[in-house]
C-alpha cells in the first residue's frame, strides 16, 4: 500500500467514531415495516463502499471549525443519496454485479430497485431536514437535480452515436458524479456557518475532487484488477459510454485508429472488442496522458486550499484525499 | 354535471390566478439544458390532471388565513412529487397509456422515465426549500418516504398470491395515495403557522380525502367510462392488484364465488377475465357496498371540519372537495 492510500485510510480511522454514528443513522433510515425495503437498502449499504462522500462532509465541517453534531445527519444524507443513485443506475445500466456481488436489481428485480431508490432518496431528505439548515437542503437538492440531469445527458448521448469532446465528457462527469462530491464538501462548510467565498471554495474543491475521482473510475474500467476494485472491467464499453480514456486516445490517434474506435463504439458487438480497444489505449500511452489530464485538475484543487480555513490537524488530509482520488488511475 | 363536480370546478376557478402561478413555477422547474428532461417532464404535466393536490395546499393555506406567497412553491412541489411518482409508477406497472395518451415510458423508454422522475423529485425539493419552512420540508419528505414504502408494499403483496383484508388495503392506499393528500393539506396549514392540533386536523382531513379518492379510483377501474375518466379499464385486474371493490365483493360472496375470485386473481390469464370479475362485483351489489364504505370515511372527515379554522369563503368547499372525491364512485 502506498502513502497516498494510507492517508485516506488514516482519515477514515480519525473519523471512526463519527463514521460509526453515520452508520447508525443510515441503518435507522433503512428500517421499514416493509421487509423488502430494509432488505434491498441494507444489501447495498452493507456491500461496503469507501464512504468518501460522508468523509468529505465530516472533513470540511471540521476544517471549518464546526463543533456540533448535525454534520452526522448531513454526512448520512449524502451517502443515502449516493446509494439511491446506485440503485437506479444499476437498473438504467442493466448491471448484474457491483463490488463483486450480484446487483440489487439482479437479486430483487428492477421494480424493487426503483422503489427502494425512491425511498432512500426521501429518507436522505428527512435527514437533511434534521440538520435544520435551509442552505444545506438547497445545496443537496440542487445537487440531486444535477445528478439526474447528468444521467439523462449520458443516456441521450448514447443514442447519438457520436464521439464526445473532453468538454462534453466533463459536463456529464461533473453532473453525474462531481456535483454530489461538491455538495458533500459544501454542506460541511455550510453547517459551520462560513462566509460565502469560503463555502464556494469548499464546494469547488469537492467538485474537482469528484471529477478526478470519476476520471480515475473511468480508467479503472479498462485497467483495473476487478477483484481488487470490485468493478466489472469493460462496463463502459459494453454500455457504449464514451469516457475520458477513449476521448484522449481518440484525440491522439491516427485517422485509421479513430475510425476503428468509432466502429467499435457505434456497433452492437462492442462488448467483444474489449482487448482491441485496450490495445488502442495502450498504443497511444493513454495512462500517462490521463495522468497529465488529472494533474491539471489536481493543481486547480490545490490552489483552492489557500482559501479554505487552515486546520493544523485536518488541512494536510485535503492533499491526502486528492492523492487518493488521483492515485486510483495509476 | 352535478352539483358536486361543479363545486370542485368553482374552486378551481376561485384559485385560477394562483393555479396559473403554480403552472409557471412548475414550467420553470421543468427547464433543463437537456431537452429529453424538459420533453418528458412537460409531456406529463401538459397531459392535464385535476391538480387536486395543489388545490388542497392552496385551500388549506387560505382557510388557515395565510396571506403570503410561499404557498405557491409548496403547491407546485406537491404536484411535482405527484408527477414524479406517476413516471415511476408507469414503469413499475408497465403501463402503456395514461389519460388516453401513450405513457412517457412507452414513448421515451423506462430509463428516461426513471431519471426524469428523479429529476422532478429533486426539483420538488428545491421548491420546498424556497418556502423556507423546515416543518413543510419535514412533512413532504416524510410523505415521499411513505409513498415509496406503499408502492413496495403493493409490489410485495403481488408476490404473495393471497386475498387482502380491507385493513391491509387501507394501509397500502394510505401510503401510496393518502399520505401525499394529507401532506398537501398539512403544508397549507404549516405555512399559515397554525397550532399543532389544527395542523394535525388539516393533515387528517387530507389523508381521509386521499383515501376516499383512491377508493373511488379503484371503483373507476371496473366501472368507469374510459374516454371520460382517461383510465384504462381493468388495469388493476391485469396487474393483479387487489383493491377495495374486490375485497368487499369477496367478503360478501359465497364460498364458491370466493374461489372464483381467487382463481382469477392468482392466475396469469386474469386479464381475459374482466367481464367475469365484473359480473361477480355486480352480483354482490359492490357499488352500493362501496358507497357505504366511503360514507364511513366521509363522516370522519366531516367531523374534523369543526377543528379546522372557519372561513366563510372557503370552508364550504371542504364539503365540496369531499363530495367530488366520493362522487367519483357513483
Tally C-beta pairs within 8 A across A and B: 134
Q: What is the pLDDT of residues A309-324, one digit of tens each?
A: 999 999 999 999 999 9
In a 3-state reduction of DSSP, which class is residue B71? helix
- In the predicted model, what is the mean pLDDT of residues A205-212? 98
Distance of alpha carbon A254 from alpha carbon A283, whole angstroms? 11
pLDDT for residue A3 is more than 70? no
Closest-CA residue to B140 (of A286, A141, A180): A141
Average pLDDT over every residue of A202-229: 90
| Rounded distance between C-alpha atoms, residue A35 and residue A31, angstroms | 8
Q: Residue B58 is inside which H or E element, if any? A: helix B52-63
Please judge whether B91 and A112 are an interchain contact, meaning their C-beta atoms are less than 8 angstroms apart: no
The alpha carbon dihedral of B51, B56, B62, B68 has a sign of negative
Q: Could B145 and A119 be called an inter-chain contact, meaning their C-beta atoms sit closer than 8 Å?
A: yes
Phi, psi of A162, rounded to the nearest 5 degrees:
-140, 150
B145, B153, B174, B239: best to mutate for the A interface, most A CBs within 10 A = B145
The yes-or-no verdict on residue A330 having pLDDT over 50 is no
Contact B32 A149 (CB under 8 A): yes
Grid cell digits, residue A208: 474537482
Specify the residue for cell string 451517502: A79
ipTM of this complex prediction, to 2 decimal places: 0.92
Q: In this model, does residue A1 exceed pLDDT 70?
A: no
Place of cell 480497444: A277
State residue B2's pLDDT score.
Answer: 52
Rg of chain B (C-alpha set)? 20
User: Nearest-CA neighbor of A139 among A87, A85, A202?
Assistant: A202
Q: How far apart are CA B94 and CA B123, in angstroms?
A: 25
Phi, psi dihedral angles at A230 (to 5 degrees): 75, 10
Q: Are B45 and B81 in contact (CB under 8 A)?
A: no
Give the mutation candidate from B115, B116, B190 for the A interface (greatest A CB count, under 10 A).
B115
Residues on chain A touching B151 (C-beta within 8 angstroms): 115, 118
Grid coordinates representing B196 are 399543532
- Chain B residue with the nearest C-alpha to that of A116: B148
pLDDT of residue B96: 77
Query: What residues of B are in contact with residue A152 (Cβ under 8 Å)?
Result: 32, 34, 36-37, 112, 115-116, 119
CA angle A134, A138, A140 (to 5 degrees): 115
Chain B residue closest in CA terms to A40: B152
User: Residue A34 and residue B151: Cβ atoms within 8 Å?
Assistant: no
The whole-number pLDDT of residue B3 equals: 53
Query: Do the Cβ atoms of B152 and A114 come within 8 Å?
Result: no
Among A117, A134, A149, select the one facing B132 at the smallest CB separation.
A134
pLDDT in tens, chain B (330 residues): 455 667 888 999 999 999 999 999 999 999 888 888 888 888 877 777 789 999 999 999 999 999 999 999 999 999 999 999 999 988 888 877 777 788 888 787 888 899 999 999 999 999 999 999 999 999 999 999 999 999 888 888 887 888 999 999 999 999 999 999 999 999 999 999 999 999 999 999 999 999 999 999 999 999 887 666 666 788 899 888 999 999 999 999 999 999 999 999 998 788 899 999 999 999 999 999 999 999 999 999 999 999 999 999 999 999 999 999 988 754
Which residues are CB-contacts of A239 (< 8 A; sequence separation ≥ 6)? A93, A158
Predicted local confidence at residue A80, as pLDDT: 96
d(CA A146, CA B87): 18
Using DSSP, state whether A268 is helix, strand or coil. coil
Are B122 and A115 inside 8 Å of each other by CB? no
Contact B105, B91 (CB under 8 A): yes
Rounded to whole angstroms, the Cα distance separating A156 from A149 reads: 10
User: What tens digit of pLDDT does each residue of A103-122 get?
Assistant: 888 787 888 899 999 999 99
- A-interface mutation test, from B43, B135, B152, most A Cβ less than 10 A away: B152
Domains of chain B: 3-134+143-327 (1.10.600.10)
- DSSP designation for B34: S
* pLDDT tens digits, one per residue of A263-306: 999 987 888 999 999 999 999 999 999 999 999 999 999 999 99
- Termini Cα distance of chain B: 13
3-class state of residue A162 by DSSP: coil
Q: What is the per-residue pLDDT for B229?
A: 64
Higher pLDDT: A161 or B169? It is B169
What is the pLDDT, as a whole number, of residue B5? 65
Give B284→chain A minimum CA distance, Å: 33
Alpha helices for A224-285 (secondary structure H): 226-229, 235-239, 244-252, 255-265, 274-283
Nearest to A92 among B111, B122, B123 (CB): B111
Mean pLDDT of the residues in chain A: 91
Cβ pair A115:B92 closer than 8 A: yes
Contact B122, B87 (CB under 8 A): no
Rounded mean pLDDT, A72-81: 97
CB B144 within 8 A of CB A117: no
Q: Radius of gyration (Cα) for chain A, nearest Å?
A: 20
**Cβ-contact A156, B36 below 8 angstroms:** yes
pLDDT at B1: 41
Could you give the 3-state DSSP secondary structure of residue A98? strand
Candidates A151, A172, A180, partner chain B, best to mutate (most B CBs within 10 A): A151
For residue A50, give the nearest of A330, A236, A325 by alpha carbon: A325
By three-state DSSP, how is residue B242 classified? coil
DSSP-H helix ranges across chain A: 3-14, 16-30, 35-46, 52-63, 71-92, 104-108, 110-131, 134-158, 166-173, 179-191, 196-223, 226-229, 235-239, 244-252, 255-265, 274-283, 286-304, 316-327
Cross-strand pairs, A101:
A98
Q: How many residues appear in chain A? A: 330
CA distance B156 to A264: 42
Let me know: does A189 contact A198? Beta carbons within 8 Å. yes
Please list the residues that pair with B275 across neighbouring strands: none
Q: Are residues A138 and B147, on separate chains, in Cβ contact within 8 Å? A: no
Residue B55 distance to chain A (closest CA, Å):
23
Burial class of residue A262 in the structure, from the number of CB atoms within 10 Å of its CB (0-12 exposed, 13-18 middle, 19+ buried): middle
Predicted TM-score of the model (pTM): 0.93
Beta strand pairing status for A101-102 and A97-98?
antiparallel
How confident is the model over A4-51, as pLDDT tens digits? 667 888 999 999 999 999 999 999 999 888 888 888 888 877 777 789
* Burial of residue B39, with CB atoms counted within 10 A of its CB: 0-12 exposed, 13-18 middle, 19 or more buried: middle
Angstrom distance (rounded) from CA B286 to CA B278: 10
Query: What is the rounded distance in angstroms from the CA atom of residue A155 to the CA atom of residue A157?
Result: 5
Of B116, B128, B148, the CB nearest to A122: B148
The reply to whether residue B125 touches residue A147, judged by beta carbons under 8 angstroms, is no
For residue A188, count other CB atoms closer than 10 A to its CB.
31
Amino acid at each position: 500500500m502506498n502513502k497516498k492510500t494510507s492517508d485516506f485510510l488514516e482519515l477514515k480511522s480519525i473519523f471512526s467514531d463519527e463514521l460509526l454514528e453515520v452508520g447508525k443513522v443510515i441503518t435507522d433510515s433503512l428500517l421499514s415495516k416493509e421487509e423488502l425495503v430494509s432488505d434491498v437498502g441494507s444489501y447495498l449499504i452493507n456491500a461496503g463502499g469507501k464512504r468518501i462522500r460522508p468523509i468529505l462532509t465530516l472533513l470540511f465541517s471540521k476544517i471549518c471549525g464546526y463543533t456540533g453534531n448535525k454534520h452526522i445527519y448531513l454526512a448520512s444524507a449524502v451517502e443515502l443519496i449516493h446509494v439511491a443513485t446506485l440503485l437506479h443506475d444499476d437498473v438504467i445500466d442493466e448491471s448484474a454485479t457491483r463490488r463483486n456481488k450480484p446487483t440489487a436489481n439482479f437479486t430483487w428485480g428492477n421494480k424493487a430497485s426503483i422503489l427502494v431508490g425512491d425511498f432512500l432518496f426521501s429518507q436522505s431528505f428527512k435527514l437533511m431536514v434534521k440538520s435544520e439548515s435551509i442552505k444545506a437542503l438547497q445545496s443537496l437538492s440542487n445537487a440531486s437535480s444535477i445528478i439526474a440531469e447528468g444521467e439523462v445527458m449520458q443516456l441521450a448521448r448514447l443514442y447519438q452515436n457520436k464521439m464526445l469532446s473532453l468538454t462534453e465528457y466533463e459536463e456529464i462527469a461533473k453532473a453525474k458524479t462531481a456535483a454530489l462530491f461538491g455538495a458533500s464538501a459544501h454542506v460541511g462548510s455550510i453547517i459551520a456557518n462560513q462566509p460565502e467565498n469560503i463555502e464556494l471554495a469548499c464546494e469547488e474543491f469537492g467538485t474537482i475532487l469528484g471529477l478526478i475521482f470519476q476520471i480515475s473510475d473511468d480508467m479503472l474500467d479498462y485497467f483495473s484488477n476487478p477483484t481488487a476494485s470490485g468493478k466489472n472491467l469493460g462496463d463502459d464499453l459494453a454500455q457504449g459510454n464514451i469516457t475520458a480514456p477513449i476521448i484522449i486516445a481518440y484525440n491522439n490517434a491516427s485517422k485509421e485508429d479513430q475510425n476503428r474506435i468509432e466502429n467499435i463504439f457505434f456497433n452492437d458487438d462492442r462488448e467483444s472488442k474489449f482487448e482491441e480497444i485496450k490495445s488502442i489505449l495502450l498504443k497511444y500511452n493513454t495512462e500517462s496522458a490521463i495522468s497529465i489530464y488529472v494533474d491539471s485538475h489536481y493543481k486547480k484543487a490545490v490552489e483552492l486550499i489557500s482559501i479554505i480555513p487552515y486546520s493544523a490537524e485536518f488541512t494536510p488530509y485535503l492533499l491526502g484525499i486528492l492523492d487518493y482520488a488521483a492515485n486510483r488511475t495509476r
